Chain A
Amino acid sequence: DVKVTQSSRYLVKRTGEKVFLECVQDMDHENMFWYRQDPGLGLRLIYFSYDVKMKEKGDIPEGYSVSREKKERFSLILESASTNQTSMYLCASSLMGSQREKLFFGSGTQLSVL
């Protein structure tokens, strides 16, 4: 089974801190994604990557950056955390080509910014 592992289940940070959320997948998937999930808003795409060192902005990239130095790892970075970034963050991965639409998700990181 494909496994997408997010480094922390719960994280509490202070306003202004630099925050790293890590995601690792073990099935050699080309595509990786970061979403945030908020009540009443559903899932919103922050960034995605279809190859090592490649990244593309999603729908809400402001205040975030990403890093993909290795194929299996995709990091989300909050340069200076703010309270409106309190959310559930979900990482996902998929193959390229005809299987790209089948996303495999991690269990999420609930981030609280105080």
Chain B
Amino acid sequence: GNSVTQMEGPVTLSEEAFLTINCTYTATGYPSLFWYVQYPGEGLQLLLKATKADDKGSNKGFEATYRKETTSFHLEKGSVQVSDSAVYFCALSDRGGSEKLVFGKGTKLTVNP
């Protein structure tokens, strides 16, 4: 079945550091890929997505590139801020018609001033 594996957390960085959160997937066919973010005390919200190989999703300074050859969708940001502290979830969607997403376990990021 479809699955998502993301790096174990927690991740602690200083402000302005470079961020990478690794995500790899297993899927039949050609899934769409997503990063969702959950800020403290809130529900998840979509951060970015990519729907086909070599697509790059980007939002709020975050980027992720759909790499079919390595089945990966790593999240990156060049300079993190304290306000980026949150839990980040990688997810995939089976484009065969299923209405549901499969989520990774989440990676907690803490950014210190």
Contacts and interface: CB of A to CB of B under 8 A. Distances in A.
A90 B103 contact: no
Given A40-B105, A101-B32, A48 B41 contact: no
Contacts of A92: 43-44
* Interface of B, helix, strand, loop or mixed by DSSP: strand
Contacts, number: 49
Interface string B74-113: 0000000000000001000100000111011110000000
Nearest to B93: A101
Interface in A69-114: 90, 92, 94, 96, 100-108
B43 A106 contact: yes
Given A42-B106, A92-B43, A103-B36, 13 more contacts: A4-B43, A33-B100, A42-B103, A43-B106, A48-B99, A58-B100, A100-B99, A101-B34, A101-B49, A101-B93, A103-B44, A104-B43, A105-B43
Interface of B: 32, 34, 36, 41-46, 49, 89, 93, 99-101, 103-106
Interface of A: 4, 31, 33, 35, 40-43, 45, 48, 50, 58, 90, 92, 94, 96, 100-108
